[in-house]
Amino acid sequence: MTGDFEASYGAAPQASAQAPGRVNLLGEHTDYNDGYVLPIAITQQTRVAMRRNGGSHFALHAQELDQAVRFTLEQPPAEHFASYVYGCLKLAGEQGAPVPPLDIHVASDVPMGVGLSSSAALEVATLRCLRQLLDLQLDDVAIAQLAQRAEIEFAGVRCGIMDQMASSLAGTDKALLLDTRSLERRLVALPEGSAVLVLDSGIARSLAASGYNERRSQCEQAAQLLGVKSLRDVDDLRRLDALPDLLRRRARHVLTENSRVLAAVDCGSAQDFGLLMDASHASLRDDYEVSTPGLDLLVELLQAQDAVFGARLTGAGFGGACVALCQTDALRDVAAAVLHEYRQAGGEGRQLVPPLVALGG
């Protein structure tokens, strides 16, 4: 990383930090309804390095995208990837210390655009780096909250707080049970003998931003019609009968998904955990309508494997990745068999977690 920064800017960085992507095991589209989520960090990380450049402009180089951008805080960059970094710089500037023009280098092996939170990893790594460089008094929760604001205010996605909390606070060996209303959280071990497998469906998430914001508005509408602050406050499914059909189904997904998260952390068995994942997928497909035929196929192929306890789409949906809970010793064989069958059916998938390529230092 230091070498990469030096290659771009000809000097060593003054600060560097990293943050992981995440995969969500259960609790999809619940965070912006004040509900429960259960993500786990992945080993892939985004690394950010910085140095004061003494000039008038910020310089940003994103290694994997092979893009270099120059901007000032008054003149935001037009490039979408740079808006995440720009948002973090603007928000860090509100924390007291002015942010001086910097040379910034970003390197990442977090898969992009598949639902593994490459944007949260970029935001959290950027803010961690700024915390170090400018000695900002921010704890890890405050970092996650600023990162979420960067995404909403500067990248235009009205996301919840799950991804940024996961990137800032989760580890790779235990899942993070998070109450997104109180931010109370605890780490939860995966069921004995099980491990996480993530496969990319190869389907681009074309409707993700518009479909996501639309789902969020529908949940807000449903909460308003029910006279509650958020769907988290509805404790009886029967209350949903008062809603028009579409809103009733959206809200039913949210309520049942919250119950599934809470059931999963108490169930203790991989089989029961897996059944909850299967049910989550059905709910995302039928009630929330964020799946696609390709995701459904990949999930079905995963679920048909004896060594798979359960599988579902993960992240916002509309394409991207699927997650499965799998017998630890069968990961490799399951991935190979499912990807083979998926290819025969015309799909083009790949294994994302565990990563096939060993991480660079």
- Write out the two tokens for 155: 């990248």
> Among residues 143 and 339, whose Cβ is nearest to ligand GLA?
143
Q: Which stretch, 155-163, 262-270, 276-284, 346-354, contacts ligand GLA (CB under 6 A)? A: 155-163
Is residue 21 close enough to count as binding ligand GLA by CB under 6 A?
no
CA–CA distance, 231 with 248 (Å, rounded to integer): 11
**Least separation in angstroms between CB 193 and ligand GLA:** 27
Among candidates 175, 200, 197, 190, which has minimal Cα distance to 308? Answer: 197
Stretch near ligand GLA under the rule CB under 6 A, chosen from 28-36, 276-284, 291-299, 336-344: 28-36
Q: Where are the alpha helices (DSSP H) in 24-156?
A: 80-93, 118-134, 140-155
Q: Determine whether 113 is exposed, middle or buried from the number of CB atoms within 10 Å of its CB (0-12, 13-18, 19+).
A: middle
Rg (CA), the chain: 20
- Using the minimum distance from each CB to ligand GLA, give the nearer residue, 91 or 159: 159
User: What is the DSSP track for 137-181?
Assistant: ---HHHHHHHHHHHHHHHH-----SHHHHHHHH--SSEEEEEETT
| Given 20, 21, 28, 309, the residue binding ligand GLA (CB under 6 A) | 28
Is residue 32 near ligand GLA by the rule CB under 6 A? yes
Interface with ligand GLA includes 5 (CB under 6 A)? no
Per-residue contact string for residues 158-177; x = within reach of ligand GLA by CB under 6 A: -xx-xx--------------
Among 62, 102, 316, 331, binds ligand GLA (CB under 6 A): 316
* Residue 59, beta-bridge partner list: 70, 103
Q: How far is the CB of 316 from ligand GLA (least distance, A)?
A: 4
Enumerate the active-site residues: 163
Number of amino acids touching ligand GLA (CB under 6 A): 10
Binding segment for ligand GLA among 26-34, 51-59, 232-240, 344-352 (CB under 6 A)? 26-34
Q: Which residue lies nearer to ligand GLA by CB, 294 or 315?
A: 315
* 151 vs 117: CA distance, rounded Å: 11
Question: What minimum distance in Å lies between the beta carbon of 13 and ligand GLA?
Answer: 28
Distance between CA atoms of residues 167 and 21, nearest Å: 6
For 136, half-sphere exposure in the C-beta direction (CA atoms, 13 angstrom radius) is 27
Binding-site ranges for ligand GLA (CB under 6 A): 28-29, 31-32, 159-160, 162-163, 315-316
